[in-house]
Amino acid sequence: MVLVRIAALSSLPAAALLLASPVALAQARQPEAGAVARALLGDLQRAGEDMASEAMTQWILASRRDALRTGVSPIPRAVRTRLEGHFPAPLLDRVRYRVGNGDELGFPTNSVKTNAVAITLDDVILFRHGPDAAGDIRLWAHELVHVQQYERWGVRGFARRYTRDHRAVEAEAIAGATRFASARAGQAR
């Protein structure tokens, strides 16, 4: 115990040891305690983010399985025609969708409760309303950018990024949908 105190005091200037009160000595050591506390809080935050992203990964996988089990369809022909040339054909071939869902406790239902109009589960897109699935081409483009994110990052990577910074993930999808809309507007001229 004495050695620890001596070691702790050795980092203080000699004048501080001679003139400082015990309270002043403790306060001089406080910045180190603050750094330790910040490091600990950072570790706890990362652990919480890891747990949240793993939970989200499992919800995505289970919800995707539920959607496939209850029935999905290929992208509607009229929608696909408008998307062709802007998204790779293999992606358009692979993506499936459905309107609504059958699992009241699943991740998609909870997303719909937060006013999401659609949610992408890897390569399955769930729309809240039929008219959005039938013709909201910009929403389709937004969700297809999410499919591309899943391709690049995997389900676990998507969940990790979404739980750590969902705004950045959504910003990329919004930007992709905006580019798509601009390109389509340019083609119409």
| pLDDT tens digits, 131-176 | 999 989 999 999 999 999 999 999 999 999 999 999 999 999 999 9
pLDDT tens digits for range 38-92: 777 777 777 777 899 999 999 999 999 999 999 999 999 999 999 999 999 999 9
Expressed in angstroms, the distance from the first to the final Cα of the chain is 81
Alpha helix (H) residue ranges in the chain: 2-10, 14-19, 22-70, 77-83, 89-94, 107-113, 130-135, 137-188
Whether 24 has a pLDDT exceeding 70, the answer reads: no
- Which tens digits make up the pLDDT trace of 81-131? 999 999 999 999 999 999 986 553 454 555 544 678 999 999 999 999 999
Q: Shortest CA distance to 149 belongs to which of 123, 188, 167?
A: 123
The token pair that represents 60 in the structure block: 């995505």
Of 11-15, 61-65, 182-186, where does the model show the most confidence? 61-65
DSSP state of 87: B
CA distances in angstroms from 129 to 40, 64, 66, 101, 181, listed in the order given: 45, 18, 18, 11, 21
Beta bridge partners of 118: 127
